[in-house]
A and B are shown apart, each in its own frame.
Chain A
Amino acid sequence: MRDTVGTAAVGLALGFSLSRIGFSSWDEVHRMFTFESLRMLLAFCAGVVVMALGWYAVKKLSRTSPRWIPRDIHRGTVAGGLLFGAGWALSGACPSIALVQLGEGKLLALFTVAGIFAGNWLYSVVHERFFRWTTQSCIDD
């Protein structure tokens, strides 16, 4: 129950925040990547800095050391990152953004959402046939 309610609350807060920062606007994302506007870039960097401080506080406050998955470099890191970046610039969406756009009424994002599921599925097939290296799991479970 706590899992379900907590997950819904965090998802709602994330969707709302991304919308208010401007990440769900194709134009704003384009301005970010072409450095016309530094607002979202600064928001992202500020988020990382606050989080680094937050993790430090979490470590200090928790009695046992938090079980965090390491995120090491593997053979898919560079290529995957580059492909994701290209897709983000083209569609204006990272995975959560496409869903936020739908909520805002930008229904053309249905194509982006369908594409993300298709691309995720496609990689899992390609990985099993050809790559087979360890990528760790993205999800922390």
Chain B
Amino acid sequence: MLNDVKKYIAQKRKDGENFRVLKHYSDNESSEFYRANAYFCAGKAEFKEDISRPVRKVVRTENNISGFSYFLDGIQRSRPIFYTGMIPVTYGYCAAVIRNRADKIMKTSQFYAESQALYLPYKAKALKNQPEFYHDKSDFDAFKNIKLINTGVIDSNKEDIVENYPVHPQELILKANQELNNERSQLETNLAWEWVKSKSEGGWLFIDGPVSSICKNYKEYIKVFPNIVGVLKTHHTQYFSFADQEKIYKLKKGERSIVFRPDKQDVFSWYLRLHNPTNGDVNFGLIRIEIFADKKLLTRVDEISEWIMLETKPAAQPDSRWDRMIYPIRDCEEYLKSKAPTYTMIESLA
């Protein structure tokens, strides 16, 4: 069958059609970008530049120095470590850091936070119809010095939806991971907020992830101190029409899309291609950037794009996501990994 496909592609290419073959440069084990995303949606957006020209070239200025001096990223680690009956108890660790760059050297700043907890379902007093096999919280008094996060709670605001309590062990593990994900996001948001409050001088903050929540929650502060940029490496929401989106996918290295404002969000956003998609993947090197939705900042979109282009050197290799990740973020990850409990340690509990 593969031979037939090969012949087919060869023929199509011969006919001059736009056929790209995916080349897997990275280790298959860690190639998370090649998995189909769990969900997709079409998003509404308000375009802030001329939609008739959705692609813009980022013009490189004379200044070869990036304006970013702070970089925020977080990590998480989890493992189910034991079962009590059929209930899995998951250990979760998450941490976030803002690393400071001075004279091209990455250093630790005061912005660091970590959290670890056991994730398990237990009966919440305010809720009804909880599954019988859920333990009472008192059953875990032995863990009094350990933070417990209830994975049995679906949504405390919807107490009547009892039938959705997670009961399947895999479901509980998935729920634990979601909770841990939320915990990490919260740590990152808190750190970003701490940074905003500190009004750190000397450069902008680059956040690996969206900035919409911090822009929403701390709008008044961000207005005064808007020096934060969020970068998204995965693209679940499509803000352009199919025709325009194809143009986005055809962006070349150093080209960006027009700026748009996602619906109901306090951010301006645009796409930027960091590396030419030589491996055929339309998402290769494609990132989406978010900044606070302040009209004054629209004039700095090219400048910020240029900073990010500058940040592609050095490349974030050997990370498999190097096409969309900048090196300082990899540095943050490595720093956090060096402080995190190793999987060996976590698994040794089991």
**A and B: real partners?**
no
Query: What residues make up the interface of A, taking CB atoms closer than 8 Å to B?
Result: none
Query: What residues make up the interface of B, taking CB atoms closer than 8 Å to A?
Result: none
